[in-house]
Amino acid sequence: MINNIENKKEISKKLKERAISEGFAMSGIAAIPGSSRIRLRTNALERWLSNNYHSEMKWMEAERRKNISSLLNDAKSILSVGFLYLNSNNNNENKKNFKIGKFGQGEDYHKVINKKLKNIGNWINKEIPDCKWKICVDTSPLLEKAWAEESGIGWIGKNSNLINKKNGSWFTLGFMILSKDLVPDKPHESLCGKCDKCIEQCPTKAIVEPFVIASDLCISYHTIESRSKTIPKKIEKNLNGWIAGCDICQDVCPWNKSVPYNNTFETYPKEWIKNLNIESLNWDQKTWRENLKGTTLKRIKPWMWKRNIKASLRNQ
Task: Identify residue 192 by its one-letter amino acid code.
Answer: C
Please state the three-class secondary structure of 55-69 as a single string. Answer: CCCHHHHCHHHHCHH
SS3 74: coil
Q: Are strands 162-163 and 155-156 parallel, antiparallel or unpaired?
A: antiparallel
Instruction: Give the long-range contacts of residues 10-19, CB within 8 A, separation 24 or more.
Output: 11/127, 11/128, 11/182, 12/182, 12/183, 14/127, 15/79, 15/120, 15/124, 15/127, 15/182, 16/79, 18/120, 18/123, 19/79, 19/81, 19/116, 19/120
| Whole-angstrom distance, CA of residue 277 vs CA of residue 65 | 40
Residues 6+ apart with CB under 8 A from 132: 72, 73, 74, 178, 179
What distance in Å separates the CA atoms of residue 93 and residue 119, rounded to the nearest whole number? 36
Largest Cα–Cα distance in the chain? 65
Exposure on the CB side of residue 148, measured as CA atoms within 13 A = 29
- Is the distance from CB of 213 to CB of 183 less than 8 angstroms? no
User: Which residue of the set 74, 108, 130, 138 is catalytic?
Assistant: 138
Q: Alpha-carbon Rg of the chain, whole angstroms?
A: 20
Distance CA 311, CA 316 (A): 9
Q: Is 196 an annotated catalytic residue? A: no
Residue 212 phi/psi, 5° resolution?
Answer: -120, 120
CA distances from 186 to 29, 147, 157 (A): 9, 12, 18
Active site residues: 138
